[in-house]
Amino acid sequence: MSETPVETPVEDMSFEQAMAELEQVVGQLERGEVPLEQSIKLYERGALLKARCETKLKEAEEKVAAITLDANGEPQGLKPVEGL
């Protein structure tokens, strides 16, 4: 694959979509089979994808951290998380 898929805006991607495309970008860059200008574009896209993955992971961690437990250690509900 020599073209960067740019149809889906990064900000609309799920974690899984962003991670899959990031893996493709990294593979293309590691193989070194793309011209310099395209490598730069791939690198920029990869940076955006990495940031998206980090954001989605942080959101998931905050949701998991908000689960409250009862006296027996059983989940009893969710504590509201500011900003979510």
Amino acid at site 79? K
Could you tell me if residue 2 is inside a domain?
no
Residue 1 domain-assigned (yes or no):
no
Banded model confidence at residue 84, pLDDT cuts 50, 70, 90: low
Into how many domains does the chain fold?
Answer: 1
pLDDT tens sequence across 12-64: 999 999 999 999 999 999 999 999 999 999 999 999 999 999 999 999 988 88
pLDDT the model gives residue 76: 72
Domain that holds residue 15: 10-78
